[in-house]
Amino acid sequence: MSFPKDFLWGGAVAANQWEGAWDVDGRGPAKTDVTTGGTVNTPRYITYIDKDGNPGKVMQFGKIPEGAKFAVLEDYHYPNHNAVDGYHHYKEDVALMAEMGFKQFRTSISWSRLYPTGLEKEPNKEGVEFYRNLFTELKTHGIEPLVTLWHFDTPLYIEQNLGDWKNRDTIELFVRYVTTCFTEFKGLVHNWLTFNEINNTIQFLDMMGNPSDKDFQDSYQHLHYQFVASAKAVQIGHAIDPTNRIGCMICGITWYPATCDPNDILANRHAWERNIFYCGDVQCKGEYGTYAKRLWKEHNVNLDITEEDLADLKRGTVDMYTFSYYMSQLVTTHEVKEKVGGNFSAGAKNEYLQYSDWGWATDATGLQYYLETIYDRYQIPLMVVENGLGAFDTVEADGSIHDDYRIDYYRPHIQAMSNAIDNGVDLIGYTTWGCIDVVSAGTGEMRKRYGFIYVDMDDEGNGTMARSRKDSFFWYKKVIESNGTHLD
Ligand code: P53
């Protein structure tokens, strides 16, 4: 069968969802540290103190009022503070991954662990030390690190005082931070991703309900600065070590028209342009797509783009295209009877698909469709760097966890990758999301679990943090051992 012999099997987490230790060894806070826990029906909140000294909260991804300051408040639970304490359990976690036969482990570097406010001239030594130890531990076990430089966690100081990515000055601070990463971890890390799910900023506009032209302006500007920052990071990474392979990371959703009404077909094409190609084209081809002008014009967007920016975008194209894939979505111009959401997208319900307890559609064929579409467009190596099922797990009296539903999710997705490879797609790696249970990004829950490795920890932060193997652990081990041929 199809998988190349050096295929990079593995799993993925992100610093803020795995490490915890939010204020340990000099780390500064990030926005995830002022974000409360939520559920599938209740949002996560960002907490603050307003200009008159009163505590308050806004929905995750919302804006805090003028003059307010982000704050950790009593009476709220902030699940990312301790997460699953990967910071202190990394040796044990890496050993379990090695037992499954991982070839690759994806995690992110927490910017505020290296630069607590983002403004320091020199990095925090203890932060550098932690990542050096982690990457060395992985190497010792024959596991390649795949490192995301930004996973939604700009230092809170930058967010509060500079306006995050709405400010061009953030680019230079990011450049300082990534230069440290490429320099300090040279030889230990060869595979890098710049911005996690960079297109979330566009998807988020759709989720806002009624975005104003100002919202569009802000979002597209924010993205432009991230594109420039990403392109600079690629150039710096290559200059420091020419063997570095640096990728973009897109939230991959396969969009389908809900009907064969030509208006739906056209709307679907536009959904691909706006949600998927807009970012991929800039990062892989080094220039905005032909449709970008239309998107800007629709909302009177006027971007601050310099000649130097355009030259940077051209010079800083990525070496590989990586993406997360959880589901597909339907687009329609007709009235929608039953709406479904998930992973920053919403659309009509697809009667051919099954939905998870969190309302995410399972669609393995959509993964094959995505792989073939994207490879044909860019013809550079691809990696699926997130894929998986968030589900409730039950621990039996003897400690075992029978998560056959998770295996049933993975099997057809691995088959879909294999089909795409047979059809000529250059797919080089696969890291399942949350290979060890972590805090959910969308809901802040622990009970929305993705792992092969279970962590004894609940939504309120109670638990021993003990790790154990689910049935899927043994299954995935066989998948890797057989290089994707043993899927039963
Ligand atoms: P969860 C929400 C917010 C940010 C990123 O998602 C997201 C999502 C998904 O709703 O997408 C990615 O934990 C992300 C991961 C995240 C994963 O999807 O809400 O890159 O950080 O954990 C799964 O189930």
Annotation marks residue 386 as catalytic: yes
Q: Are 16 and 80 in contact (CB under 8 A)?
A: yes
Q: Is 386 in the pocket of ligand 1 (CB under 6 A)?
A: yes
Q: Are 154 and 111 in contact (CB under 8 A)?
A: yes
Q: Is 93 in the pocket of ligand 1 (CB under 6 A)?
A: no
Q: Residue whose CA is closest, atom 21 of ligand 1? A: 441
Q: Residue whose CA is closest, atom 3 of ligand 1? A: 442
Q: 48: closest CA among 38, 59, 57?
A: 57
Identify the pLDDT of residue 208. Answer: 80
Residue with tokens 């500007």: 221
Q: Is 159 in the pocket of ligand 1 (CB under 6 A)?
A: no
Q: Domain limits of the chain? A: 8-30+81-481
Best of 343, 384, 386 to mutate for ligand 1, by most ligand atoms within 8 A of CB?
Answer: 343
- Secondary structure of 371-434 as H, E, C letters: HHHHHHHHCCCEEEEECCCCECCCCCCCCCCCCHHHHHHHHHHHHHHHHHHHCCCCEEEEEEEC
Rounded Cα distance between 229 and 439, Å, is 28
Q: Spell out the per-residue pLDDT of the chain, length 488, in tens.
A: 699 999 999 999 999 999 999 999 999 999 999 999 999 889 999 999 999 999 999 999 888 999 999 999 999 999 999 999 999 999 999 999 999 999 999 999 999 999 999 999 999 999 999 999 999 999 999 999 999 999 999 999 999 999 999 999 999 999 999 999 999 999 999 999 999 999 999 998 988 878 999 999 999 999 999 999 999 999 999 999 999 999 999 999 999 999 999 999 999 999 999 999 999 999 999 999 999 999 999 999 999 999 999 999 999 999 999 999 999 999 999 887 766 665 555 678 899 999 998 989 999 999 999 999 999 999 999 999 999 999 999 999 999 999 999 999 999 999 999 999 999 999 999 999 999 999 999 999 999 999 999 999 999 999 999 999 999 999 999 999 999 999 99
Q: 441: closest CA among 342, 359, 357?
A: 342
Q: Is 14 in the pocket of ligand 1 (CB under 6 A)?
A: yes
Q: Are 405 and 413 in contact (CB under 8 A)?
A: no
Tokens of 38: 């939520």
Per-residue pLDDT reduced to its tens digit, 307-355: 999 999 999 999 999 999 999 999 999 887 766 665 555 678 899 999 9
DSSP code, position 365: H
The enclosing H or E element of 134 equals helix 125-140
CATH of 8-30+81-481 among 3.90.180.10, 3.20.20.80, 3.90.470.20, 3.90.600.10: 3.20.20.80
Identify the pLDDT of residue 289. Answer: 98
**Gap from CA of 324 to ligand 1 centroid (Å):** 9
Using CB atoms within 10 Å of the CB of residue 204, give its burial: 0 to 12 exposed, 13 to 18 middle, 19+ buried: middle
Identify the pLDDT of residue 62. Answer: 85
Identify the pLDDT of residue 340. Answer: 65
Q: Is 441 in the pocket of ligand 1 (CB under 6 A)?
A: yes
Choice among 19, 144, 159, 386 that is catalytic: 386
Best of 433, 436, 448, 459 to mutate for ligand 1, by most ligand atoms within 8 A of CB?
Answer: 433
Dihedral of the CA atoms 444, 449, 450, 452 (nearest 10)?
140
What pTM, to 2 d.p., does this model score? 0.96
Identify the pLDDT of residue 359. Answer: 87
- In whole angstroms, how far apart are CA 349 and each of 332, 355, 391? 11, 9, 20
Q: Are 388 and 409 in contact (CB under 8 A)?
A: yes
Q: How many residues does the chain have?
A: 488
Q: 123: closest CA among 70, 167, 166, 185?
A: 185
Angle at 9 between CA 135 and CA 100, to 5 degrees: 80
Rounded Cα distance between 192 and 246, Å, is 5
Identify the pLDDT of residue 294. Answer: 98
| Whole-number CA gyration radius for the chain | 21
Quick one: which atom of ligand 1 is closest to the CA of 14? 21
Choice among 197, 308, 351, 445 that is catalytic: 197
Chain center to CA of 437:
15
Identify the pLDDT of residue 222. Answer: 97
